[in-house]
Chains A and B, each alone.
Chain A
Amino acid sequence: MKAALLLVLGCFALAAARAEPNLFPDVAYAQPRNEAQTLDIYAPDTGSHHPVVFWIHGGGWMRGDKADLQQGSDDKINRKPQAFTARGFVLVSINYRMIPTVTIMQMTGDVAKAIAWVHAHIQQYGGDPNSIFVMGHSAGAQLAALVCTDRGFLVAEGLDLKDVKGCVPVDGDTYYPELQLDLEPTIASANAQLLDFPDLIAQKSLSSVLHIFKGKPIPPFLILHVADHPETHTEMQSLILAEALREANIPVKVVACPGKTHDTLNADIGLNGDLATQSIFAFLAKQLKPGAR
């Protein structure tokens, strides 16, 4: 019995090790082709109709790259692609234009354009265009939440909110940027934020919280935040977003992740036994169950 179990586990390990994801790098999602509007596709090496995880990197709307899928981790394993493809997901990691080249409004437009590209083409890579989940970390979390609540961005690309099956913003601090700005402790840090959210109209229009209404086809949300760093305000912002979703009867779950910093919460996604990782896969499984909305 024990030997049989070991054999099973051994085969499983072998299968996992063999399942190197297929990488399709630097695919352009906008014309004319440019590096800032490209995406990387990591696909399981067999099968079709795999659900798609669409990943938006962070970096304060100014830095970061689609290849940053293992930053901050102690080893050099590209965790996110391995973890998602091993569980049968296609992972799409996108670049988008950044400040000072574009505004956050235009960045969100890039995100929507990339989603539309995935919707139109992901079948060729074994993905299911009708099972797209949008996730992002930090600034990427703000963009994920915004594109999944303000339908204008997807509508401009010929899609709608219903084309996204779930949204997972990870440790964002700007779902309601006005409060975050009001609480900035120094003039320097406030000024830095004002580059991203220059005026009250921008602050309000870029607030996912203010786009949430009852009856809008906003997808279910899983919101992750660090448990031990209230000074980052990601907990407060997560609770505000969750409350707004709850009032509009949108399914929402909030997971406070202990023992993590803003960076390790992201870098450890994909690690076995990691609470954030488990929460994400449980959320995805729930949304993918037959009969889920």
Chain B
Amino acid sequence: MNVSLCLRTALAAVAFSGIRAPASAAEPRIQRDLPYASPANAAQSLDVYAPAGGDHHPVVVWIHGGGWAHGDKSDLQAGVHDPVNRKSAAFVGKGFVFAAINYRLFPSATVRQMAGDVARAIHWLHDHAAEYGGDPDTIFVLGHSAGSHLAALVCTDSAYLADEGLSLRLIKGCVPVDGDMFYAPLRIATEVNVHEATSDRLKFPDDASQKEYSAVMHVAAGKGIPPFLLLHVADHPETGTWLQTHIFAEVLRESHVPVEVVACAGKDHHTLNSDLGLAGDPPTEAVFAFLDRQIKTLRTGSP
């Protein structure tokens, strides 16, 4: 019996004891600050929220936003009035293993290094998901704002996962939430806010990097790009997220990648994110419906 099997048995025992105690049955098992790179460091660590029991739960990787320079994996209830950790609780409640990741931020890292960190975290989860009751082969990648940009990039530019010895086909679905940088050259050329334009140019400094970091530029048929669900705010065209989402969706469609777009009414860039996980919230329902559909397709072999 090897060590990993031993660990798995021990964890299963913990899970079992969890199930036996009704009061805590719904309490997710939480493991914080797991390093996914060595040497261990806070910027390259992740938190796992797992259902108390069971195994082969699909895995959701969550990439926080914050303009590539701010934010933390613990920002799962930002901007709401109650302190409930909505996202992790909602996903675990629906039977997902939820992994919120940190990644190195600007100015310590370039966008390429950030996307590399995301791929590395996915690699770590592929290797370790089973220890938390997750299915290592059913991984979904979700993110908000800058995190949605990184999610889309890692799920279209195969180089990041390839560097980890993985393929795009490992990812079973991608959900970028209100991103404005799927085609960076346009976004940066038309940014009217001087402060934001300057800030974006620091991270996307020249034409070559703007194209390299554009998911739109990496979309092609037959690459194994996963199905996409794209969410954007319906009422704020000035953010540029609907235009960028439309461009990205159109390019995916042309390459025959399944894609759905949901324009979310009554939300701003922050509440669309912070409300994700709220019962009765239409974007939340759209996300779970998308995930369920992909999982059903995987299990039955047909859409």
Whether, in the assembled complex, A274 has its beta carbon less than 8 Å from a beta carbon of chain B, the answer is: no
9 smallest beta-carbon distances between A and B, as pairs:
A243-B243, A236-B250, A210-B189, A178-B185, A244-B190, A230-B250, A236-B247, A182-B217, A179-B186
Whether, in the assembled complex, B82 has its beta carbon less than 8 Å from a beta carbon of chain A, the answer is: no
Bound CA span A183–B255, Å: 11
Whether, in the assembled complex, B211 has its beta carbon less than 8 Å from a beta carbon of chain A, the answer is: yes
Q: Please provide the chain B residues from 208 to 235 with a CB less than 8 Å away from any CB of chain A in the complex.
A: 211, 216-217
B237 interface neighbour in A176, A207, A231, A246, Cβ under 8 Å: A246
B190 interface neighbour in A209, A214, A236, Cβ under 8 Å: A209
Shortest distance from the beta carbon of A242 to any chain B beta carbon, whole Å:
9
Bound CA span A17–B183, Å: 52
Whether, in the assembled complex, A260 has its beta carbon less than 8 Å from a beta carbon of chain B, the answer is: no
B238 & A247 in contact (Cβ 8 Å cutoff): yes
Residues in B whose Cβ lies below 8 Å from that of A7: none
Shortest distance from the beta carbon of B95 to any chain A beta carbon, whole Å:
37
Whether, in the assembled complex, B126 has its beta carbon less than 8 Å from a beta carbon of chain A, the answer is: no
B246 interface neighbour in A204, A239, A247, Cβ under 8 Å: A239
Bound CA span A233–B183, Å: 15
Bound CA span A230–B246, Å: 11
Known: A200-B207, A239-B246. Is A230-B253 also a contact (CB below 8 A)? yes
Highest count of chain A CB atoms <10 Å: which of B185, B186, B192: B186
A239 & B254 in contact (Cβ 8 Å cutoff): no
Shortest distance from the beta carbon of A206 to any chain B beta carbon, whole Å:
13
Residues in A whose Cβ lies below 8 Å from that of B190: 209-210, 244, 247
**Secondary structure dominating the interface of A:** helix
Whether, in the assembled complex, B263 has its beta carbon less than 8 Å from a beta carbon of chain A, the answer is: no
Q: Please provide the chain A residues from 212 to 245 with a CB less than 8 Å away from any CB of chain B in the complex.
A: 213-214, 230-231, 233, 235-236, 239-240, 243-244
Whether, in the assembled complex, B251 has its beta carbon less than 8 Å from a beta carbon of chain A, the answer is: yes
Bound CA span A244–B250, Å: 19
Shortest distance from the beta carbon of A229 to any chain B beta carbon, whole Å:
12
Q: How large is the interface on B (under 10, 10 to 19, 20 to 34, 35 or more residues)?
A: 20 to 34
Residues in B whose Cβ lies below 8 Å from that of A246: 237
Shortest distance from the beta carbon of A180 to any chain B beta carbon, whole Å:
11
In addition to A178-B185, A207-B189, A209-B189, 9 A-B residue pairs with Cβ atoms within 8 Å of each other are A182-B211, A183-B251, A230-B253, A230-B254, A236-B247, A239-B246, A247-B190, A247-B192, A247-B238
B186 interface neighbour in A214, A235, A240, Cβ under 8 Å: A240
Known: A209-B190, A210-B190, A214-B192. Is A243-B237 also a contact (CB below 8 A)? yes
Interface size, chain A (Cβ < 8 Å): 23
Query: A95-135 interface mask toward B, CB cutoff 8 Å, 1 = contact, 0 = none?
Result: 00000000000000000000000000000000000000000
Q: Which residue of B lies closest to A210 (CB)?
A: B189
Can you list 23 A-B pairs with a CB-CB distance of less than 8 A? Answer: A176-B186, A178-B185, A179-B247, A182-B211, A183-B216, A183-B251, A183-B254, A204-B189, A209-B186, A209-B189, A210-B189, A214-B192, A230-B254, A231-B254, A233-B250, A236-B246, A239-B243, A240-B186, A240-B243, A243-B240, A246-B237, A247-B190, A247-B237
Q: Which residue of B lies closest to A204 (CB)?
A: B189
- Chain B residues engaging chain A, CB cutoff 8 angstroms: 183, 185-186, 189-190, 192, 207, 211, 216-217, 237-238, 240, 243, 246-247, 250-251, 253-254
Q: Which residue of A lies closest to B247 (CB)?
A: A236
Residues in A whose Cβ lies below 8 Å from that of B247: 179, 236, 240
Bound CA span A210–B192, Å: 11
Residues in B whose Cβ lies below 8 Å from that of A233: 250
Residues in A whose Cβ lies below 8 Å from that of B246: 236, 239
Known: A231-B254, A239-B246, A246-B237. Is A179-B183 also a contact (CB below 8 A)? yes
Bound CA span A209–B183, Å: 15
Q: Which residue of A lies closest to B246 (CB)?
A: A239
A182 & B192 in contact (Cβ 8 Å cutoff): no
Residues in A whose Cβ lies below 8 Å from that of B189: 204, 207, 209-210
Bound CA span A176–B187, Å: 12
A182 & B216 in contact (Cβ 8 Å cutoff): yes
Residues in B whose Cβ lies below 8 Å from that of A182: 183, 185, 211, 216-217
Bound CA span A182–B183, Å: 10
Shortest distance from the beta carbon of A283 to any chain B beta carbon, whole Å:
21
Residues in B whose Cβ lies below 8 Å from that of A204: 189
Bound CA span A165–B292, Å: 53
Shortest distance from the beta carbon of A127 to any chain B beta carbon, whole Å:
36
Q: Which residue of A lies closest to B183 (CB)?
A: A179
Residues in B whose Cβ lies below 8 Å from that of A176: 186
Residues in A whose Cβ lies below 8 Å from that of B250: 230, 233, 235-236
Residues in B whose Cβ lies below 8 Å from that of A207: 189
Residues in A whose Cβ lies below 8 Å from that of B237: 243, 246-247
Q: Which residue of B lies closest to A230 (CB)?
A: B250
